[in-house]
Amino acid sequence: MTRRTTGRLADDREIIWYDVDGSPERSVPVDPRDLPHTATSSQMRLDPLTGEWIALASHRQSRTFMPPADECPLCPSRDGRHTEVPSEDYQVVAFENRFPSFSNRGEGIDPVDDGLEQVRAGVGRCEVLCFSSDHDGSFAALTPQQARLVVDAWADRTSALAQTPGVEHIFPFENRGREIGVTLQHPHGQIYGYPFVPPRARTELASARAYAERTGRSLFGDIVAQELADGTRVVVESEHWVAFVPYAARWPMEVHLYPRVQRPDIPSLTDAERDDFARVYLDVLGRFDRLYSTSMPYIAAWQQAPVHQDRDLAWLHLELFSIRRGEDKLKYLAGSESGMGAFIGDVAPEQQAQMLREAKA
């Protein structure tokens, strides 16, 4: 269903166009910009108190911040203005981030491990994925066919990044809205190829491992079954997917989307599951945007299996959440959440689900 066309930007970064099968053939344009080759100084330091890797990427301080629409670097290149996408139009496009947190183009550093302080090069890969050429659009405004094309792009990039040296976990995500802290308004997401399994994924998989050892069953599968049986927190369900507010929701608006059948990652989804996800996800995003008078800021975070471990435990799912707790109120991570990692919920999960069920078109 999807055709991919690959090229190179002026500084040798890879770019990939994704078009619905049957679209006109796409030629590979030349990027005429004079750009220096990307070289980063990313490094990782291990926090001895938590065992978590912290990435340091000071070169990102110079990245583009909230440019006006006529200077957006994610729009197509038109009328003599050259952007990150050297074509006059596109459907979906992915390219290496010019200001990556992790990169295999980085300046080499000598690893350090003295038993307390550990340092490694920040190897990996960071990509930008533009959902549409329409600067004023959004994921929620895509058609099911356009959304399905994004799913295929996520799957393709996951498969490709899994072959990238040093990558251990692949994380497609979207930050949407000024309140979330986006630096570019154009509808887009990112894909991180981490050189480690990040804390959230590690915690979920550790819980799944302990549950399997105790019960012989899948934690994720039992959660889906429990939510379907209870029904009070289910927002949307379909043949292949179920979307529900989690029992212990952290955020004032939070929905998790699971396939009914265990899949380790996005590439493993069938065509029918990809089509169905596009419909269900657009439904949920539409409900988010209908709750208040302005569009809902959110983070959409894919949880999929690590590249080299725990693939039998993982169950692909999308965690969608917002910091908005009312028409003109935001949830700030203050003392308990930021200082101790102990979340305090603002809206009961059952109330969240009811609000979203009532927000149908």
Within a 13 Å sphere around the CA of 275, how many CA atoms are in the beta-carbon half? 5
Among residues 186, 188, 240, 256, which one is catalytic? 188
Residues making up the chain, counted from first to last: 361
Coil, strand or helix: which one is 275? Answer: helix
| Three-state secondary structure of 181-228 | CCCCCCCEEEEEEECCCCHHHHHHHHHHHHHHHHHCCCHHHHHHHHHH
For residue 221, CA distances in Å to 55, 226, 227, 257, 262 come to 33, 9, 10, 12, 7
Q: How many CB atoms lie within 10 A of CB 226?
A: 12
| In contact, 15 and 90? CB cutoff 8 Å | no
| In contact, 211 and 95? CB cutoff 8 Å | no
Burial letters 51-83, b for 16+ CB under 10 A, else e: eebebebebbeeeeeeeeeeebbbbbbeeeeeb
Q: Is 188 a catalytic residue?
A: yes
Q: Which two tokens stand for residue 127?
A: 């990509």
For residue 225, CA distances in Å to 101, 311, 321 come to 38, 21, 22
The DSSP bridge partners found for residue 81 are 78
**Amino acid present at 110:** D
| In contact, 167 and 307? CB cutoff 8 Å | yes
The residues near 125 (Cβ < 8 Å, ≥ 6 apart) are 96, 100, 102, 103, 104, 161, 164, 167, 191, 192, 193
* Element (DSSP H or E) covering residue 330: strand 329-330
Q: How many CB atoms lie within 10 A of CB 231?
A: 10
**Active site (catalytic) residues:** 188
